[in-house]
Chains A and B, each alone.
Chain A
């Protein structure tokens, strides 16, 4: 994610990270015999869904305004 510049790919990266965490949570839950991990995995899925919705919506809006290839072009909010 750090080296990618395509916003869509960055979103996919975030998605991958969240899923990795999910996997970890489920694995540890099984290992330690603790249900909370599995509950937490469900939480993460919800958050991931919300994140995908918001992120994609922002991206769609940006693409409507201009043709974007590189996230570094989005630096108008520089302080």
Chain B
């Protein structure tokens, strides 16, 4: 079992090294086999560990030893890490398999490079969730940031992709700093890095140290999970290829913050302010992102904002202490958002990389299979029964509502409004891009080619999971709760619902979200209400949303511009002060050398003359000395 736990990491590592070093321009077929193959191999390892009910902290060797500071290389296998591994290798495997078809137009070198990066990303993500101590966690955390940088900037010949990659990296590094400082505070205060020794050492009553550590870790979490105010990188990250968006920006990487809070739940349970901050940031981000998604026209950007919004729900859940509700939504979101991205990827692929929804239309007619799967994902995102999104979102909101205090009701209400908005923008995406007649601006006028089988099968698998996955946990209708039961050994008991009112709240949310989904039909198909009319009436609102609440402009004004000016100042001073000095030294040396070079006449006899003169002077000096 010990070797098997390590094998989960070794398979993707071997795949990345093989593709990156040995198969750089080698066989395409081999690349297409190895790239997804190693992730499925890791998936099998996870399944075997799960089947044997392993729950242990495997220590392999001592990694760092310096005085009393000792970091082991250990892998923590428990139900939480196995749950995350299932999502990463399962959904990740489907996405990488899908990429075999999606990336087929790339050159041989780019093809291998893509799968190399994907395997390295999965490796880093697995390190992040399997790490048994905070130092190893940071390795995974930074590795995920690096590989997402590489994947977002995959099309490195596109300027916008490079800028987006840099932005994502800078934002992630801000989070990394918070993360490292948080781990540092924990070590300095409790002298432990291994989770299983650290958590029992934590106090149960709130104090300044735990609050500080929890806030610093939260900075790492919100940067990685694109929550306010470190969210600006996620929409721009849509520059990457669509499978990357599905893998990183929907299924795995952005959920790292949720995992972090769940993993450190003994710490967050011991705090008041940091824990509440998680819930508030989550709720506000959910509403914020959903409102921006209303007006975006790029289909991947709509999906990106809905991702932010759904991650907000997860933060809300873990922030009010409903950890397994948050992780259930994480699982459900991995299913339906990867599905949405990949179904949208089929469309983008067929329309020659056009992502603007205004150029779409007629897809229901031309690409029936992708459209059906997209509809399943949309309904799940909108939270319509019986799709997985309904059960998981209801679970989150139900836990918030039954908490029964001010914070619970406040975040519930924001979540409720967000759910209605989600129904509306999802409906807009569905009716506007898929259902309406083909747009005249569509890049491909005739019949569209449906995606190849290798791209359809993973989408179909996810569509099935999205449809039936909700029945893992049907607390909404008072049934069983398999996810809660599975995670109980790590996260503890979930609260029992005592308040009967939350079922009423559930029905209200469901009905209003469904109505909003349907109302979008009136907007974009029947034209009962015209979007243009609303825009005319509320133009300023649309502008604010289209400019994404001016966050990019604010950061530009607050950070980029002042730093730019500082750089300009130092540049000028460098030129006038330091460069001039250096240039002068060079100029004087050159002039002096010019003068001295006159002595190198090249005439042998002149050298002899100088030599003789020197001897004469020396002789005179010696004689003069001797005589005096």
Nearest-CB distance from A56 to chain B (Å)?
A: 16
- Please report the C-alpha to C-alpha distance between residue A72 and residue B608 in the assembled complex, in whole angstroms: 12
Within 8 A of A (CB), among B554-601: 596-601
List B contacts of A71 (CB < 8 A): 603-605
Q: Write the chain A residue with the least CB distance to B593.
A: A79
A33 interfacial contact with B, CB 8 Å:
no
A76 interface residue per 8 A CB criterion: yes
Q: List 16 A-B contacts (CB under 8 A).
A: A2-B605, A2-B609, A10-B604, A10-B608, A71-B603, A71-B604, A72-B605, A74-B602, A75-B601, A76-B602, A77-B600, A78-B602, A79-B597, A79-B598, A79-B599, A79-B601
Does B490 interact with chain A (Cβ within 8 Å)?
no
Q: Is the CB of B602 within 8 A of A75?
A: yes
How far, in angstroms, from A7 to B604 measured CA to CA in the complex? 9
Number of B residues near A (Cβ < 8 Å) is 13
For B612, the chain A residues whose CB sits under 8 A away are 2
Query: Is B603's CB under 8 angstroms from A72's CB?
Result: yes
Question: Which residues of the partner chain B approach A72 to less than 8 Å between Cβ atoms?
Answer: 603-605
Closest Cβ neighbor of A3 among chain B residues: B605
Q: Summarize A's interface: helix, strand, loop or mixed.
A: loop
Residue of A nearest to B599 (CB): A79
CB of A39, distance to nearest CB on chain B (Å): 22
Q: Which 6 A-B pairs have the closest CB atoms?
A: A79-B600, A78-B602, A75-B602, A79-B597, A71-B604, A77-B602
CA distance A3 to B280 in the complex (A): 100
- With both chains docked as a complex, state the minimum distance between the C-beta of B218 and any C-beta of chain A, in angstroms: 70
Q: For the complex, is A35 an interface residue (Cβ under 8 Å from B)?
A: no
Considering only residues 1-17 of chain A, those with a C-beta below 8 Å from chain B are 1-2, 5, 7, 10
A78 and B600 form a contact (CB under 8 A) = yes
Q: Given that A79-B597, A79-B598 are known contacts, is A2 also in contact with B603, CB under 8 Å in the complex?
A: no
Q: Give A28-43 as 1s and 0s: 1 = Cβ < 8 Å from B's Cβ atoms.
A: 0000000000000000
Chain A positions near chain B (C-beta within 8 angstroms): 1-2, 5, 7, 10, 71-72, 74-79
Nearest chain A CB to B31 CB, angstrom units: 61
Contacts of A10 in B (CB 8 A): 604, 608
CB distance from A79 to the nearest CB of B (A): 3
CA distance A1 to B603 in the complex (A): 13
Closest Cβ neighbor of B600 among chain A residues: A79
Residues of A within 8 A of B602 (CB): 74-79
Residues of chain A with a CB closer than 8 A to B596's CB? 79
Chain B residue at minimal CB-CB distance from A72: B603
Contacts of B597 in A (CB 8 A): 79
Least CB distance from B469 to A in Å reads: 85
Q: How far is the CA of A2 from the CA of B609 in the complex (A)?
A: 7
A10 to B608 Cα, complex, angstroms: 10
CB contacts (< 8 Å) of B608 on chain A: these are 1-2, 10
A73→B596 CA distance, assembly (Å) = 22
Complex Cα distance, B609 from A65, in Å, reads 27
* Chain B residues near A75 (CB-CB < 8 A): 601-603
Q: How far is the CA of A1 from the CA of B612 in the complex (A)?
A: 10
Q: Which residue of A lies closest to B596 (CB)?
A: A79
Complex CA distance for A1 and B601, rounded to whole angstroms: 18
**Distance to closest chain B CB from A75 (angstroms):** 3
A13's nearest neighbour on chain B, judged by CB, is: B608
C-alpha spacing A10/B604, complex, angstroms? 10
Q: Is the CB of B601 within 8 A of A78?
A: yes
Q: Closest approach, in angstroms, between the C-beta of A31 and any C-beta of chain B? A: 17
Q: Which residues of A contact B604 (CB under 8 A)?
A: 7, 10, 71-72, 74
In the complex, what's the smallest C-beta–C-beta distance from B593 to chain A, in angstroms? 9
Which chain B positions have C-beta within 8 A of A74?
602, 604
- A7–B608 alpha-carbon span in the complex (Å): 12
Cross-chain contact of A5 among B599, B605, B609 (Cβ < 8 A): B605
A7 to B605, CA, bound (A): 10
* Residues on the B chain within 8 Å of A1, using CB: 608
- A5 contacts which chain B residues (CB < 8 A)? 605
CA distance A2 to B604 in the complex (A): 9
Max chain B Cβ within 10 angstroms of own Cβ: one of A7, A72, A76: A72
Instruction: Give complex CA distance A1, B611 in Å.
Output: 12
State in angstroms the CA–CA spacing of A76 and B602 once bound together: 6
Hey, which chain B residues are within 8 Å of A79, CB to CB? 596-602
A2, A72, A75, A79 — which one has the most chain B CB atoms within 10 A of its CB? Answer: A79
A74 to B599, CA, bound (A): 16
- Closest A residue, CB atoms, query B612: A2
Per-residue contact bits, chain B 191-207, to A (CB 8 Å; 1 contact, 0 not): 00000000000000000
Cα distance A5–B597 when bound, in Å?
Answer: 24
CB distance from A63 to the nearest CB of B (A): 15
Residue in chain A with minimal CB distance to B609 = A2
State in angstroms the CA–CA spacing of A72 and B604 once bound together.
Answer: 7
Minimum CB–CB distance from B603 to chain A (whole Å) comes to: 6
Given contacts A2-B605, A74-B602, A76-B602, 4 further A-B contacts (CB under 8 A): A1-B608, A71-B603, A72-B605, A79-B599
Q: Which residues of A contact B600 (CB under 8 A)?
A: 77-79
CA distance A78 to B604 in the complex (A): 10
B599: chain A residues within 8 A (beta carbon): 79
